[in-house]
Structure 1
Amino acid sequence: MGILPEQYDKYIRFFKFMLKYWNSDVFSFPDGEILSAEKEEALKEFDHSPEELTEDLKKMGPTYVKLGQLLSTRPDLLPSHFMDALATLQDDVDAVDYKVIEDVFKEEIGKEISKVFTFFDPKPLASASIGQVHKAVLHSGETVAVKIQRPGIRKRFIEDLDTLMEISEKVEEFSEVARSYSFHNVIEELRYILLKELDYTLEAQNLTTLKKNMRTFKKLYVPAAFPDICSSRVLTMEYVDGVKITEVSKPNHAKIEFEPLVDELIKSYLTQIVIDGFAHADPHPGNVYFTNNHKIALMDLGMVVKFNDQMKENILKLMIGLSNYDGDRVSSVLLSMSVYDEKSVDIQTFKKEINRKIQDSRNQKAKDLNTGRILIDVNQLAAKQGVKIPVDLNILGKILLNMDQIVATLTPEYDMQETVKSYAHHLMQKRIKSSLNQEYLMELLMEMRGLAKDLPFRINKFSENLAENRLKIKVDAIDQDRFTDAFQKVANRITAGIIVAALIIGAAMLVNIPSEWTVFGYPTFAFILFVFAALIGFYLVYQILFKDENK
C-alpha cells in the first residue's frame, strides 16, 4: 500500500503524536527498568502527564483509544501510573441520531425496531466510539439492552489499522527500539483484537459460553444473548439493573454480606482461567455490576482470553506458588514457560528478585495487597533480566489487577491468598477429572490398540536380532569423535610411558657393561638412552601440566 493523498491526514496526525511523545519518559520506559518509588514520582512531574496522554489519544480517534486500552494490558511497556490511566480510558462521544440507529437495525436484522420491541428508548444508556446501548422491551415482556454499532466505524478502524500496520513496519526498519519491543507485532495484535471486537456475533457467542461455564456460581450473573436479534453490528442481551461495582454505597448496602460474593467472584475467575481456559479479559469496574438482586454481573464480553492446556497448568502452578509465597516455585514456573538466552540471563539474580517481590507481599490484606500488581512487577522484573514471558501472563496480571480493585472496595480485610490456596486443591482435582473425558479415553484406547497390534512383531524382531548377534544400540549421549580422540591420546601416553620405562631399564643394564667410550664416566650408549628417556618424560609432564589444563 502506498502513501496516497487521502492518507496524508492520518500520517500527519500520527507523526505529530509520535514527535510529542517519542523522546519523553513515556516511551523511554520500555528498557525493562523497574521504577523505584522515587522514579515513579519523578515521572509524575514530567510535562506529559498520563491524563494528557489519554486526552491526546481521544483526539486521535477511536482506533487510538482502543490502542491505549490495549496498552493498559502491557505492563512491560509502560510505567504503572500511565498504565492505570490508560486502563480507565473511555471515549466520550456524541450519540448517533435515532433515525440512523433505526436504519442500522433494519439493515442488520431485517425488521423495523417497532416490530421487534414494544418499547425502545431513543436516548442511549451509553455511547462509545464503536457503538451505543439502548434499553428496550421485547414483545415477551423481557427488558433487554441493545448495542448498535456506529455506521462507518468498521471502515474507519480498518483504514486506521492499515495505516498503523504500514507505519510500524517502516519504523522497525530504522528504529532499534521499535524492533526490540516488536512495535509491529503490538499493532498486529491490536488489529486482531479490534477486528474481533467489531463483530458483535462473536460477543454474543462469548456471552453464551461464559454463561454456560459459570452456571454453577449462583451469586454471579452473565446476561444471556438473544441470537435471533443479533448480528455483526447489533447485539441484544438481557438488561442488567444495578450499579457499577465500585459505586456500591456501604450505608445503602450495610446489611449485605459481601464476602461470599467476593469469594465466589475470585473462584469463578480462577475456574475461567485454570479449568475452562476461557476468561473475561476486561473485568474493569465499568464492566462488573452489582445487581439489585444482590449478584455480581459480568458485562461486555467483547474481549476474552483463551488459554491452552499447557498455559492453564502453568498458571495453576504459578497461582499456588504466589499463594504460598514460594518465590523459588514462582521463578521456576516462569522460567519453564518463557524464552531466554541461558548465556546472557543471570538466573540467580532473577530468582533473588522474584523472591524479594513475593516476600514483600506476605500477610497483606485486600486493602493493601495487589496480586495483579505483583504479577505485573514480576513481568517487569523478567523484562529487565531478558526473560520473555508469554503475553498471556500480562493479560492475567491485568485481570487480577482489576480483581484487586473490586475486592478492596467490597471487602478490605479479605484474604485473597488464602482463598487461592484453599481453592487450588479443588481446581487440581477438577483438571485431572476433566482430562479423563471420553475423547481422551478413546484416544488412549486407540494408542493402546496400536501398541498391542505392533508389540508381538517388535518383540519377535528384537529376540531374532539378539539371537543372531545383530542387535545394535545407538547412544547419542556423548560426542563420539571427541571421545575417540581423548581415548587415543590416553593410549598414546601410556605407550610413551612404557617406552620411557624401557629406555631407563635398558640404560641401567648397559651401565654395568664396560665400554671404551664414556660420558661423565658412564658408557656412552647408556648415557644417550637416559637423556632420551628424560626428554620424553619432560615432554609428557609439560603436556599434562600446561596443555591439558587449558583445554
Structure 2
Amino acid sequence: MFKTIIVAARDRDRLADITAIATRFGLDMLLARLGLAKSEGTETGDPPDLPTRTRQALEALGPTYVKLGQILATRADLLPEPWITEFEKLHSSAPTLPFETLRPRLEEALGEPPETAFARFDPVPLAAASMAQVHRAKLHDGREVVVKIRRPGIRKTMQADLRLITHLAGIVEASSREARRFQPQALVKQLLDTVLEELDFTNEGRNADRLREDLAANPGVVVPVIHWRFSSETVLVIDYVEGIPPRDGDMLRAAGIDPATIADLGAALVLDMVLVNGRFHGDPHPGNLLCLPGNRLALLDLGLIGHVSARRQQEFLAFILSLRSGDAQTLADTLIIWSQGSTPSRDRILSAAEQLVARHGSGPLVLGQLVADFFPLLRKEGLVLPPDLALIFKALITMDGVLGAIQPGFDLSDALQKARGRLVMNRIAAAHSPEKTVALLLELSRISDEAPRLLRALTRKLEQQDAPHGFSDAAVLKAAKWLAGAMVATGIIIAGALMLT
C-alpha cells in the first residue's frame, strides 16, 4: 500500500492522464477484470467492441502503451483472435512536429547546425512516429541519408509509464486469477527491455551493424549503413534506401522485380536469421521491407531485434519438421518443453499434436493457417509460450504473410528443408571453431600428461595388495588395455589436430 502511494505521488500527473483516457474509452470493466477497479457485477460478457476500444485507448496513451499492445499482438497463445487482430493494427504514427521544436536536440547531438553538418537538410519531415521524426538529408560526400530525431521529452514520459505499468503488473498478478495466466510481470519485463533499448538509438545502429555482418554472404540482402559520426542516443543517421514495399506482386513486376525470387529470398532470409544466425528482425512487415532492383530486399527499422538460443533453434526446427513428417510424439514432446513449468496431461497434448499433424502434416505449409489452429489449442490446454518463442512465431508469420501476398501459393516447406541443412552445417562449424578446438587440445593434453602417472599408481597399488573385491585379473587387464588405448588415441588426436592447424 505504501509503495502504491509513493508511485502514485511521483507520477500523479501521468496517472491522471491514464485514468481519464481509460474512462473515456469505457474500459472500466476491463480494469475490474484485471483487479485494478471495483466490479459492478452487471456485465455478463465482453462487449464486442472491447478489443477495439482497448486498442484506441492504447494509441491515445502513447508509445509505451503502443509497445505493450504490439507485444500482446505476438501472444496469440494468450489472447483470442479479435484481440490479436486489433492489437496488430497498432502503429507508432504521430502528428509531425515543426522542425524548430527539434532543432535544439539535433544541434546538441551534431555539435553544429544541420545546415553545416550536411550538404543539404530538409526541414519538412519525411515521416513521424510516436518516438521519433525522420528528415531527409545529404552528406557532403554526396550520399543520401535519413536523419532520425528522438522527440523531446519522450524519455521522461515513457519512464513514468514504465514505473506505473511495472507496479500495476504486480497488483494484477496478485489480485486477478484470470490475468495471472498472462504472466503480467514477465510481459512487463519484456516491455521494459524493448522500450529501454529503443529509446537509445545507438542500439538500433548496433543492431544494423550486426545484422549486416550476419548477412554479408547474401548479396540479395541490404541493411542500410549507419553513419556513426553523426549518430548518438537521440539521433541516428542512416543511408536512404528507395524501393517498393512488398505488398503487391503486380506492382513489383511493373518495376522489373520478380515476386517469386523475392519470396524465395525472403523465406531464406528469415529462416537464416532465426535458425542459423540466432538474431532476427522482430517485425518484418511490408513497412519495414523494401524490394530493390536486381531482386534484392532491404531491411529497415531495426529497433526491435529478437535473439534465439541454439537450444531454442533446435526446438523450433523439431516442431516444424516433426509436424511435416507426421511425428506426433516428437511434436508433443516439444510442446511439453514449451509449457514453462505447467503440468499438462501428456495424453491431451499428444491428442492436440495429432490434430495438428492431421491438418498441416501434408500439402503447402502456410504458417498463418497453422497458427490459427495451434494457438487456440495452446489456450485450451493452458499452455503459455515463452516470450522469445512468441516473437519468433510472430516474425515468421509476418514474413509468411508478406511472401504469400506477393506470390500466392508460396510454400514455406522447401525453404524449411533447405534451412535444416544450413543449420546442421552451422552446428558443425560452431562445434569445430578454433576456440573450441584449442580448448579440446588443452584438455586432451592434460589427460595425456596425467595418464602415465595414473597408470603407474594403479600398477603399484595392485602390486602392494590384492585386487579390490569384485575385480578379477581379467578385469584389471581390460582396464589397463583401455587406459593404454586411450593414451594412444589421445596422442593421435593431438597429432592430427596439430597437423590440421
Band the TM-score falls in, shorter-chain normalisation = 0.7 to 0.9
Unaligned runs of 5+ in 2: 35-44, 471-501
- CA shift, 1:23, in A, is 4.7
Contact 1:372-1:397 at 8 Å conserved across structures: no
CA distance in 2, matches of 1:104, 1:351: 57
**Letter paired with 1:346:** S
Native 8 Å contact 1:222 1:299 kept in 2: yes
Quote how far apart the aligned CAs of 1:339 are. 3.4
- Listed one character per residue, the Cα deviations across residues 7-33 of structure 1 (whole Å, up to 9, x for unaligned) are 3343345456399547559979xxxxx
- Amino acid of the residue matched to residue 172 of structure 1? E
> Could you say if the C-alpha distance between residues 446 and 67 of structure 1 is closer, same or farther in structure 2, counting changes exceeding 3 Å?
same
Corresponding residue of 1:176: 177
Secondary structure of the residue aligned to 1:283 is: coil
> Distance between the aligned counterparts of 2:323 and 2:235, measured in 1?
42
Partner of 2:334: 333
Structure-2 change in CA distance of 1:251 and 1:275 (3 Å): closer
Instruction: Indicate the SS of the match to 1:296.
Output: strand
Aligned to 1:385: 381
Deviation at 1:470, TM superposition (A): 7.8
Q: Deviation string for 1:88-124 (max 9, x for gaps)?
A: 3114322122112221111112122112211111111
- Structure 2 CA distance for aligned equivalents of residues 310 and 297 of structure 1: 29
- The answer to whether the 8 Å contact 1:148/1:233 transfers is yes
Q: What residue in structure 1 maps to residue 392 of structure 2?
A: 396
Query: What residue is the counterpart of 2:432 in the other structure?
Result: 436
**Which letter does structure 2 place at the counterpart of 1:412?**
P
Return the letter of the residue paired with 1:353.
Answer: A
- Rate the CA distance shift 1:464–1:323 in 2: closer, same or farther, 3 A: farther
Unaligned runs of 5+ in 1: 29-42, 474-551
8 Å CA contact 1:340, 1:388 repeated in 2:
no
Q: Is the 8 A contact 2:72 2:87 kept in 1?
A: yes
Question: What is the CA-CA distance between 1:463 and the residue it aligns to?
Answer: 5.4
Residue 14 of structure 2 corresponds to 10
Identify the residue that residue 131 of structure 1 maps to in structure 2: 132
Match of 1:406 among 372, 387, 402: 402
Relative to structure 1, the CA distance from residue 471 to residue 137 in structure 2 (aligned partners, 3 Å threshold; closer, same or farther) is: farther
What does residue 208 of structure 1 align with? 209
Q: How does 1:11-160 map to 2 (within 5 A)?
A: 11-14=15-18, 17=22, 20-21=26-27, 23=29, 46-160=47-161
Q: CA deviation at 1:186?
A: 1.2
**Secondary structure class of the residue paired with 2:244:** strand
CA, structure 1 residues 441+180, in 2 after alignment: closer, same or farther (shift >3 Å)? same
With over 3 angstroms needed to count, the CA separation of the structure-2 counterparts of 1:452 and 1:387, relative to structure 1, is farther
Please list the CA deviations of residues 227-270 of structure 1 after superposition, one character each: whole Å capped at 9, or x if unmatched. 11111111111111123221554486285422122112111111
Distance, in Å, in 2 between the alignment partners of 1:347 and 1:67 is: 33
Q: Show the counterpart of 1:161.
A: 162
For residue 177 of structure 2, what is the amino acid of its counterpart? E
Whole-Å separation in 1 of the counterparts to 2:443 and 2:433: 16
Equivalent in the alignment of 2:412:
416
CA contact (8 A) 2:51 2:83 kept: yes
* Residue 314, structure 1, aligned to residue 310, structure 2: no
When residues 288 and 471 of structure 1 are mapped into structure 2, their CA distance, relative to the original with a 3 A threshold, is farther
Answer yes or no: is the 8 Å Cα contact 2:366–2:411 preserved in 1: no
For residues 351 and 69 of structure 1, what CA distance do their matches in structure 2 show? Answer: 31
Task: Classify 1:254/1:194 alpha carbon distance in 2 versus 1 (closer, same or farther; 3 Å).
Answer: closer
TM-score normalized with structure 2 length: 0.82
Q: Distance in 2 between matches of 1:254 and 1:359?
A: 41
* Higher mean displacement: 249-258 or 183-192: 249-258
Using the alignment, how far apart are the partners of 1:466 and 1:379 within structure 2?
64
Does the CA contact (< 8 Å) of 2:325 and 2:361 recur in 1? no
Say how many residue pairs are matched. 453
Contact 1:462 1:471 in 2 (8 A): no
Q: 1:511 maps to what in 2?
A: none
What is the rounded CA distance, in whole Å, between the counterparts of 1:284 and 1:316 in structure 2? 23
Q: What TM-score results when the alignment is normalised by the length of structure 1?
A: 0.75
Q: CA–CA distance in 2 between the matches of 1:251 and 1:389? A: 36
Matching residue's letter, 1:113: P
* Residue of structure 1 equivalent to 2:473: none
2:17 and 2:467 mapped to 1: Cα distance?
Answer: 75
